[in-house]
Amino acid sequence: MLKQRVITALVLAPLALFAILFLPIEGFKYAVAGVICIGAYEWANMSGITARIFKGWFMVFIGVLCAALILAVRPEDIWVQGELHPLFVFILWLAALWWLASLFMIIAYPRYSEFWKDSIPIRAVFGMLTLIPTWVAIVSLRTSLYDVDPFYGASLLFYVLGIVWAADIGAFFVGVKFGKHKLRPNVSPGKSVEGLLGGITASFAIIAFAAMHYQFEPSRIGVHVLIGAITVAVSALGDLNESMVKRCAGIKDSGRILPGHGGVMDRIDSLTAAFPVFAFCYMIWMA
């Protein structure tokens, strides 16, 4: 399993690197939308939709929403004088509220879950609240200060990817070696408190490196560390959220497209929380 995960990562990493660094903004927006659409197909399965045609229609619906956002907001209008487009601001606020609600759902699970766990439409809405803000966040970060430095936004994306992947790797190895206390056994029996702490510790190496690289003023380092810590913490929330939805659907993996990982959602579950929350914090405190 570990060998398959490593091989898959070695294939996906260069593709992600190429898309972030070398695709023009319009092409990048459509490429990210394509990944989101694959995630939507898998989320439909997690929602309890079993017929392929209806899973396909949900995927098309999410794709249409992404296309509508692409057409509604031109690249040069995403950021104007340091201010994010109002439509994107609204979606990121919605995402922040969604992840707060998700935190409550995970802490309380299985209590208070009767209204949604057997409802296909509600779980599908959860998918919309997870996937659309992810697209908005990635595009917003990639286009930040684009007219000043075309690669500044790319560095923001790599920063989030770095701390989340470091947290995932740290959590995996520390959890396997030392994990004894279950984090949320009703949601994801494999996650441990020790693994979470190991992941946070590993991610702080990336956070410290970024602080030195960007040469923050001393008064801004605290904000930088706080945003990094929030992003790492909420990435675990994204993982648990997907596990909770999959548990309700009675499935182990969201799909089988990625050997060693399962589906696309199994690979990006942490990022679907980390990117919107980081973009929200960036919009509020750093932009």
Q: How is the chain split into domains, by residue range?
A: 2-286
Residue owning tokens 């509220």? 97
Tokens of 98: 């969604």
Q: How far apart are CA 60 and CA 38, in angstroms?
A: 10
Q: Decide if 101 contacts 130 (C-beta within 8 A).
A: no
Q: What is the pLDDT along the chain (287 residues), one digit of tens a residue?
A: 555 566 666 677 788 889 999 999 999 999 999 999 999 999 999 999 989 999 999 999 999 999 999 999 999 999 999 999 999 999 999 999 999 999 999 998 888 888 898 899 999 999 999 999 999 999 999 999 999 999 999 999 999 999 998 888 888 788 877 877 777 777 777 777 888 888 888 888 888 777 766 656 666 777 888 898 899 989 989 999 998 998 888 888 887 777 666 788 988 999 999 999 999 999 998 76
Instruction: Decide: pTM greater than 0.85.
Output: yes
CA distance linking residue 33 with residue 134, whole number of Å = 10
Angstrom CA distances, 250 to 37, 45, 51, 154, 253, stand at 22, 10, 16, 37, 10
Locate the DSSP E strands across the chain: 79-80, 83-84, 182-184, 188-192
Q: If we measure between CA atoms, which residue out of 130, 105, 152 comes closest to residue 47?
A: 130
Q: Are strands 83-84 and 182-184 parallel, antiparallel or unpaired?
A: unpaired
